[in-house]
Structure 1
């Protein structure tokens, strides 16, 4: 007699039967487990295996292996439970079967799609060649397509020739317009030259050039510098020798003379008012200052015109400030008053010194002189 793992006695004949051929593989108490029907609920099976749907086959195997170690009756662990192990094993089989069915259905679906594509491909073949041109048999459509390509190439050649001719015409028109502009410039230049020549001849006939210094003498040479135009240099020298001054030099001179005149004028006006400044004199001084500010404003406009024509940037001028000029005039007036008081004090000191030195003689001399 032999004893199995559950404690039941087996005969020698039963013990020699392979495990897979035994009619009853497990016994749990007095209950026969070989007739246990696994549930077909896939979601419950995934839940028993502590997994989620869509997991991989490796995850399923690892989870089954861990649960089998935990619940297998022969594991000898404290959590061994034959019923739980049977549920885990059945859930494992259900999940494997579900994955196999899904894989098979996917393969069948792919085969159906491939068969469907193969079935429909010949129906659309005439849209996938010859650029969809023509109709009829493939040979007829090929001839039609070749004719279509010839016509398209001819149209492209004609379009290219058309664009080329248009570009040539545009270039010709531009050249003509440029020639017209250049001819106008030449005509204007020639007209100006003729006008200048006529003016020179007229001035010579009137004798305007008779008083020029160096008349009838050859022009003096200057340094042979290759960067200086001899004609321009000689013309400038002739103009300078005869008292010609550029416009900006005359404007600069005018501005300087104007500011000096305004400064002297306001100082003279302040001196004329004198001291002390009564309310009436203060009103007069305010009117003088207002007129001075207006003159400075006009002078600054003249400076703007000067800065536009001056050829050298460093020669440009800045605006004058009316307030600063008024303060300057007052300081000048005070300095003049101090200079006047200094000689008076010196004269009084000399008289006192003469009285001390000569006494009654100096007094008698004053009386006699009167």
Structure 2
């Protein structure tokens, strides 16, 4: 082969010289470049990737890529394998790039060296993308695992936020439909109310024109709406009157009523428990009384909290209430029970006296009947004796 042909075959001369070869010479150049003239470093690259040599057979780009992935999983320093070797992996990567460059050179000789390098860089896969964790993260396997977990958490949060946003939008649309329906119903009610008011006003005007209101007792006299307090604000009075007529009660009045009802129930429970006891108490009754006092103590604690809330909302200081004490309530129940016992004793004494008087009246009645019978018998005997005489 002549020196000129070698210059034409050499890639660098063709690329940098911007020479356009005839169509007949291109197959010849491809054959010569793919022939036995393969450098030692390229052969070592094929052997390192465990591929067939160019003079034995051709390897497809898919086979080259698969061989590179297999070697990367074995020798990559972050793969976690026992055969990991950073220097060897660098050699594998250089061999992979050389093989790709050789195959691309076999396919086409057009373009400059810079364009071919960019093409090789674009085709070469990034080894991290073909490891685990969906190609997310960098660093050691444990670091990539943590980064992948955080990535999954962030993705889940985004999905949840999207779902909630869709739910809120759906609820807002439904609420908007309900509000629109309520507005339509309210507008119809307002129209009906206005029609009724106009009808009533027309009837009143007709009655006034006929003179139906001239014979009223208060005709021509001012209406005294505020006899109880002439200094009250009319608007405030009307509002209070409307609230009272509709059964409204201020919160402090409701709370005060609840406190009175609760303390009345507690006192009734203590009084009934004290009334069932004997004097003196036996051990069983003493245990029952102690249990009842414990329950009442818990109820009084809750009631005292309600008293504190009432004192905060009471309109005047004179309306505030003091806490209820268990000792005072027990003393109150004992006094009431004692008075009840005394009253029951007096009631029994009165009943006994009434029964004794009733018995005495019955005995006197029987004595009168007997005396009358004796007197009647004595008179009959005296009349018979007189008759016989």
TM-score of the superposed pair, with normalisation by structure 2: 0.35
TM-score of the superposed pair, with normalisation by structure 1: 0.36
Q: Which has the larger radius of gyration?
A: 1
Pick 1 or 2: higher relative contact order, CA cutoff 8 A, min separation 6.
2
